[in-house]
Every structure is written in structure tokens, then in C-alpha cells.
Amino acid sequence: MTNQAETPDAFKGTSYYYAKYRPGIPDEVVDYVQRRFVLDGTGTLLDMGCGTGLSTLALAPLFDHTVAFDTNAEMLAAARQADPGTSRIEWQQRSDRDVVAGEGPYRVATACRSFNWMDQYPLLDTLHSTLTCGGGVALIGDGSFWTGDDPWQALIRSIIQRFLGEDRRAGKKKYSAPTEPYTTMLTNAGYARVEYEDIPVTRTWTTQTILGYLYSTSFSARDLYGDRLDEFEATMTSELLTANDGLDQFVENAHFVVQSGIHECQPE
């Protein structure tokens, strides 16, 4: 399985675009996490692979303390800059492999748009010893333009492939997707009452924000295009507008998916 530590440059140079162009976490997702784990404003959140802090800042108000980590120093710098200081957040540069048995205790461990980069089963096993009884794990994601179903997203994918090749990239390497649904992983790792929650969201994009979003990703970061960057931007803008009858507005029917499980303590 792909691990963040094995692709250290996958998000090199993307933090500015990640902070500016990645969609935030909807209130409906925050509300679901609160209901799912019966949160009352106490306890500690562990936000794994926090990036520029979009998920951290959205979920931290549900707890009285938060530990958020990422391997990318540029991402963490952007997260610290965005932190208003109203929630107690401890930002750490480390990887999922640095999570050790017995740290915490955490009420909930989350990974938003990041679990695919981690050693999933070893991490899920370790988290059992870090979670409070009745706490659990929430894995959150909303797909990407590469996996989107809208026709204009298929066009985006085809243009990227023309410039970078057929395979999805993870920086300079080929991307390796997880081989099992996260709900299967959670069940196999011993979590109870595993749930799959699908929360629809509608988002509107322009060619500018589409390009900004693409430069926030590991499969279409600016550096990957080299001296063809201007050509890529012109091609993407021209073909998207042509396919959309000149209208610079693209409606995305997206889904935030939360796959979660409960850590149930064994009777002593």
C-alpha cells in the first residue's frame, strides 16, 4: 500500500493552491461526525494527514484539544497561518508511521483526503490503543476531478493524460489506489458498528478555480508540466469553455463520504 513517506515530493509546491482552492468541509459533515461519536466538546481529536488544516479547523471546535499532523512542512506552515487560535490545536510534522501504541488518548481519529497515503491496516491496529472507549475512526473524502462523474471532469482527466500520460500520478511516481473499501478495512481491523455515510454537495467552479484546484493535487501539480505549463493552461481553459458553450461556470455534483467505526473496549 502507498504511504506518505514513500512519496515525499507528491505535494511539493502545492500548499498555496491547497489552502486557496480546495473546498472546505461542509457543516453537514461536521454535524454527522458530532452525532456519530456523541461529541460534547470534550476530549482530543487526532487529525491525520491534516494538510493545510481544512479538516482540522472545521472539526476542532467539537473537542477541547486537537493534535494534527502532516509530513509536509509547507502544508503545516499554511495550517498554522490559517489557525485563528480560538481552538487548542497542536500542529506536528510527522507521518502515520510515527503514531505509537498508547499515545493520546484520543476521542476520535480522522483522516480527510489523506488515508489513501497511509499504511492503512497497521495504522488502524495501532489506533485501537490510542482511542477512548466508544471513540473511533472517521475517514473522510470527496473524490477529485480525476474520479468525478461529470462530463467536464472526464474532459479534465483526458487533457491531463495527454500531457502527463495515461496513469494517474502521485508526484513523479504512479499512484497506487487502496485495494479495499475503507469500510472493509475498518471491519477487518476490529472496529464495531461500521458506517458509510454519503453527504451530497453541489459546488460551482470556473476555469481559474479548476486550474487552482488541479495545482493542489499530486496528479496535476504545476511542477509536473515543466516548460509545457502555459500550453497546459491554455489547452485546459480553451477546451473546457468550448465544451461548455463558452460559459465559465461548471457545476459539480460531489459527495463527501464518511466511513467510520467505533472502538469498543473489551471487558476486563
The CATH number of residue 171's host domain is 3.40.50.150
**How many domains does the chain contain in total?**
1
Pairing mode, strands 106-112 and 131-141: parallel
pLDDT of residue 158: 97
C-alpha dist (Å) from residue 216 to 44, 147, 169: 29, 15, 13
Q: What strands, in cross-sheet order, belong to the sheet with 250-262?
A: 89-93, 65-70, 44-48, 106-112, 131-141, 250-262, 192-205
* 268 within a domain of the structure (yes/no): no
Residue 201 has pLDDT above 70, yes or no: yes
Give the span between the Cα atoms of 260 and 198, in whole angstroms.
12
In the block, cell 454537495 appears at 201
* 221 within a domain of the structure (yes/no): yes
Residue 3 has pLDDT above 90, yes or no: no
* 267 within a domain of the structure (yes/no): no
* 125 within a domain of the structure (yes/no): yes
Residue 1 has pLDDT above 50, yes or no: no
* 148 within a domain of the structure (yes/no): yes
Tell me: the pLDDT tens digits for 116-140? 999 999 999 999 999 999 999 999 9
Range of lowest pLDDT (3-12, 60-69, 131-140, 250-259): 3-12
Range of lowest pLDDT (10-24, 145-159, 232-246): 10-24
pLDDT of residue 2: 39
C-alpha dist (Å) from residue 190 to 126, 137, 142, 225, 260: 11, 11, 25, 43, 12
Domain range spanning residue 258?
A: 4-262
Tell me: the pLDDT tens digits for 54-77? 999 999 999 999 999 999 999 999
pLDDT of residue 4: 41
* 207 within a domain of the structure (yes/no): yes
pLDDT of residue 172: 78
* 151 within a domain of the structure (yes/no): yes
* 182 within a domain of the structure (yes/no): yes
